[in-house]
């Protein structure tokens, strides 16, 4: 009965009924009842997204508007820079950037997308962190910004090589958007926010739509024979092949952006010697990691055999030593590679490409190699 | 003449004299989803009933397959190494896992026949 009670307390996205009608296998995820797969299955859903287009319900994620009290978006950007190591001021209107909320120890509280919508900033944060993120924003930015939780909006991701053609039928501007362009657009006559981004390594879009219209939009997109609904199972295998971090697994409050190999996401203006160096939580430690290097690093891992190496597997420098040197933080089977893929943390001295390591799986040491990420070439439209 | 029996852990055993061929049921493969890797026990290993004997991995997760009865592993299905997806396409036929020499026939008494297994998964 306990399990039943927990089931009942799960939240539903505006697309819940659609998932059930499409045969989605519903599982609890971040407090929501979400489809882990549809009848096609994880493997086919994954491959379909890479060859045609997949539709994902990501409405469980948090959508937040940061509205500057001064009316000037730059003031909201400057305020947000107190919480993230990214250059937010430099995000041009109609553009989006990947960011992280950091803590005083230089760890990551959450990762997020920040878009400049001209008169305000639009944030997309992880489902499991959204309540804490909002509290964090209110505690730190309430003097400068109105923190507007957009709980009445759904979020639909359309990903894959046919995503542009599918969306173009409903939104004429979609084809002219470039990777990380973001802004308000009408989609099928609805007031949406569209970004050309995603979490699969494929070209594609994320579409924020009023909750009441979400099912109609999803059904309209699914009328295109190239578009299939895709569950969380394939979302995870797609992002893993793309080398993208999953919060709470590959990054968390104990990993700095440098350890996580996310240096590319921290612009020069916020690093040592930059125009607005530091000034974010944990700056001392994060800048020290930039300047002196970090002791460990997130790397990609490929195995020799076909046995997947999964999250939690300990990593060893050789076949016999008893002391682990690191741990796998995400791992599974990559359907596009038809081979296992993983990522994990290792000492920086062992992080060079082609370094040979061993993972302990069911008492055996399986050989693996440090490999370049993304594992599957991304196809962003730059 | 072979008899097929089932466990509550969704394995099937085809009994032929003192040898049982073991696999997972069609119901089990449906629950697991796309199988991408199968780890089989070594030939010659003596399994004790309920100990982990094999592992089935889908894209998402690894699942143990427990020895349904005690006995020595006589043969394993090499075809599964090259084509793990056989488990999805023919779980109760070509995708058998291993053959085991039945050590104690009394252990078969605790297993289900097809009608009982159907009721179990209904």
Whether A307 sits inside 8 A of B37 (CB atoms) is yes
A233, B62: Cβ pair inside 8 Å?
A: no
Q: Does B43 touch chain A (CB under 8 A)?
A: no
Render the burial of A99-123: b for 16+ CB within 10 Å, e for the rest. bbbbbeebbbbbbbbbbbbeebbbb
Which of B39, B59, B84 to mutate against chain A (most A CBs within 10 Å)?
Answer: B59
Residue of A nearest to B35 (CA): A43
Q: Is the dihedral of CA A59, A60, A61, A64 positive or negative?
A: positive
B33 touches chain A (CB under 8 A): yes
Nearest to A42 among B55, B60, B84 (CB): B60
Of the candidates A42, A236, A308, the beta carbon closest to that of B33 is on: A42
Which of B52, B60, B86, B89 is the mutation pick for testing A, counting most A CBs within 10 A? B60
Q: Is the peptide bond before A244 cis (omega within 30 degrees of 0)?
A: no
Q: What is the pLDDT of residue A5?
A: 45
A36 touches B: beta carbon within 8 Å = yes
The pLDDT, as a whole number, for residue B67 is: 97
Say if B66 is an interface residue toward chain A (CB within 8 Å). Answer: no
Given this model, what pLDDT does residue A8 score? Answer: 64
Which of A44, A306, A332 has the CB atom closest to B60's CB atom?
A: A332
What residues of chain A lie within 8 A of the CB of B55, using their CB? 362
Task: Name every chain A residue with its beta carbon within 8 A of the beta carbon of B62.
Answer: 308, 310
**How far are the Cα atoms of A99, A138, A141, B96 from residue A124, in angstroms, in the given order?**
10, 16, 17, 47
Q: How many CA atoms are closer than 13 Å to the CA of A247, on its beta-carbon side?
A: 20
Look up residue B112 and give its DSSP letter: B
pLDDT of the residue at B2? 86
Q: How many other CB atoms are found less than 10 A from the CB of residue B31?
A: 14
**CB-based contact B57 A362, cutoff 8 Å:** no
Q: How far apart are CA A296 and CA A289, in angstroms?
A: 10
Three-state secondary-structure class, residue B96: coil
Q: What is the distance between the alpha carbons of residues A272 and A234, in angstroms, rounded to a whole number?
A: 39
CB-CB under 8 Å, A335 with B39: no
pLDDT under 70 in chain A at which residues? 1-8
What pLDDT sits at residue B60? Answer: 83
Interface contact flag, B60 A233, Cβ < 8 Å: yes
Residues of A in contact with B34 (CB under 8 A): 41-44, 335
Whether A110 contacts A126, CB under 8 Å: yes
Cα separation of B102 and B67, whole Å? Answer: 11
Return the number of other C-beta atoms located less than 10 Å from residue A296's C-beta. 21
- A24 touching B, CB under 8 A? no
Residue A177 to residues A167, A195, A202, B97, B117, Cα–Cα distance (Å)? 11, 8, 15, 51, 56
- Which residue of chain B is at minimal alpha-carbon distance from A231? B60
Round the CA-based radius of gyration of chain A to a whole number and report it.
21
Q: Taking CB atoms and an 8 Å limit, are B59 and A43 in contact across chains?
A: yes
For chain B (length 122 residues), average pLDDT per consecutive 10?
92 97 97 95 97 94 95 98 96 98 96 96 91
**Edge-to-edge strand list for the sheet holding A227-229:** A182-187, A190-195, A204-210, A153-159, A53-57, A227-229
Q: Chain A residue with minimal CA distance to B58?
A: A333
Tell me the chain B residues in contact with residue A307 when contact means C-beta distances shorter than 8 Å: 37, 39, 57
pLDDT at A7: 55
Q: What is the pLDDT of residue A35?
A: 98
- DSSP, collapsed to helix, strand or coil, labels residue A20 as helix
A-B C-beta contacts closer than 8 Å:
48
- Please identify among residues 118-177 of chain A the ones whose CB lies closer than 8 Å to any CB of chain B: none
Among chain A residues, the shortest Cα distance to B32 is held by: A41
Q: State which residue of chain B sits closest to A333, comparing Cα positions.
A: B59
From chain A, the residues in CB contact with B58 under 8 A are 42, 333
Residue A6 has what pLDDT? 53
- Interface residue B55 vs chain A (CB under 8 A): yes
State if pTM tops 0.90.
yes
Q: Is B42 on the interface with A (CB under 8 A)?
A: no
């Amino acid at each position: 009965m306990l399990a039943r009670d927990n089931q009942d307390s799960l939240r539903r996205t505006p697309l819940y009924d659609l998932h059930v009608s499409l045969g989605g296998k519903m599982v609890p995820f971040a407090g929501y009842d979400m489809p882990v797969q549809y009848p096609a299955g994880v493997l086919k859903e994954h491959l379909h997204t890479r060859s045609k287009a997949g539709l994902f319900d990501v409405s469980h994620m948090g959508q937040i508007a940061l509205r500057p009290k001064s009316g000037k978006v730059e003031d909201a950007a400057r305020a947000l820079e107190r919480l993230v190591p990214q250059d937010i001021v430099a995000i041009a209107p109609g553009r989006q950037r990947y960011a992280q909320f950091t803590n005083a120890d230089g760890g990551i509280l959450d990762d997020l997308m920040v878009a400049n919508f001209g008169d305000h900033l639009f944030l997309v944060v992880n489902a499991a962190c959204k309540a804490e993120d909002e509290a964090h924003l209110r505690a730190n930015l309430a003097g400068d910004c109105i923190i507007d939780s957009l709980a009445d909006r759904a979020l639909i991701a359309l990903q894959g090589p046919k995503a542009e053609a599918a969306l173009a039928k409903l939104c004429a501007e979609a084809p002219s958007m470039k990777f990380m362009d973001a802004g308000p657009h009408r989609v099928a006559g609805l007031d949406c926010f569209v970004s050309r981004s995603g979490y699969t390594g494929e070209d594609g879009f994320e579409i924020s739509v009023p909750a009441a219209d979400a099912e109609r939009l999803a059904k309209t997109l699914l009328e295109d024979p190239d578009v299939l609904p895709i569950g969380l199972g394939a979302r995870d295998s797609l992002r893993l092949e793309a080398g993208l971090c999953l919060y709470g697994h590959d990054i968390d409050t104990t990993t700095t952006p440098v350890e996580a190999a996310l240096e590319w996401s921290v612009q020069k203006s916020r690093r040592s010697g930059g125009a607005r160096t530091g000034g974010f939580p944990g700056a001392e430690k994060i800048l020290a990691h930039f300047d002196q290097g970090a002791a460990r690093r997130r790397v990609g891992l490929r195995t020799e055999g076909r046995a997947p190496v999964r999250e939690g597997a300990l990593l060893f420098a050789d076949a016999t030593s008893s002391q682990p040197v690191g741990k796998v933080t995400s791992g599974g089977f990559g359907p596009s590679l038809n081979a296992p893929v993983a990522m994990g943390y290792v000492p920086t001295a062992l992080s060079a490409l082609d370094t040979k390591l061993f993972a302990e799986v069911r008492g055996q040491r399986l050989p693996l190699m440090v490999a370049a990420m993304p594992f599957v070439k991304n196809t962003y439209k730059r | 003449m072979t008899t097929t029996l089932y466990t509550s852990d969704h394995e099937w055993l085809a009994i032929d004299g003192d040898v049982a061929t073991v696999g997972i049921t069609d119901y089990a493969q449906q629950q697991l989803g796309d199988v991408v890797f199968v780890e089989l026990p070594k030939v010659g290993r003596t399994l004790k009933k309920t100990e982990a004997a094999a592992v089935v991995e889908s894209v998402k997760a690894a699942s143990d397959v427990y020895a349904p009865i005690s006995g020595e592993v006589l043969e394993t299905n090499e075809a599964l190494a090259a084509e793990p997806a056989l488990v999805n396409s023919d779980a109760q036929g070509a995708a058998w896992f291993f053959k085991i020499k039945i050590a104690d026939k009394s252990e078969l008494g605790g297993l289900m026949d097809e009608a009982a297994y159907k009721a179990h998964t209904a």
